[in-house]
Amino acid sequence: MSGNGYLLDTNAIIQFLKGNAELVSVLADAEFIATSIISEMEYLSFPRLEEADVQLYQVFRSRIQVYDVPSDDPMFTQLVLNARRRNGLKLPDAIIAATARANHLSVLTADDHFKKLKSPWKVRFYKTEQDNPKMKGTTLIH
């Protein structure tokens, strides 16, 4: 894929569904939007997630690609191992990063630990609600 395709990590999903203006703008111009099954499981397993949040996510999910973790792809496995060993990411984040790289996407995140990834890994950072005074007080997960 060429252009501006993004794989959202869990915090990007939360912030987008909250209406983070920067993410809304970035994703409005995106050619392709995806997430990993890892991020989906992290999001849906939040203990305080309400039914309205699940329903909102399901609408969002119907409009994006959700990538599974391939079990029979040695090249993908090597990407995960490289992200973990060489860049020091925890396993879930290494899987998310490898998923993005394998599909020629940029990870869209606010998590600083993704700063460990250097080229050819592609990461785009955004400001969270804590960084944006206009969003203070908004919640999705109660």
pLDDT for 113 equals 85
pLDDT score recorded for residue 129: 63
- Domains of the chain plus CATH, in order, are 5-129 (3.40.50.1010)
Helix or strand run (H / E) with residue 125: strand 123-125
Q: What is the pLDDT, as a whole number, of residue 112? A: 84
> Could you state, in chain order, the average pLDDT of each consecutive group of 10 residues for the chain (142 residues)?
83 95 94 98 95 97 97 95 91 96 94 82 79 42 35
pLDDT score at 57: 97
**Per-residue pLDDT, 141:** 39
pTM for the predicted model, two decimal places: 0.86
The answer to whether 116 and 89 are in contact (CB under 8 A) is: yes
Q: Say whether 102 sits in a helix, a strand or coil.
A: helix
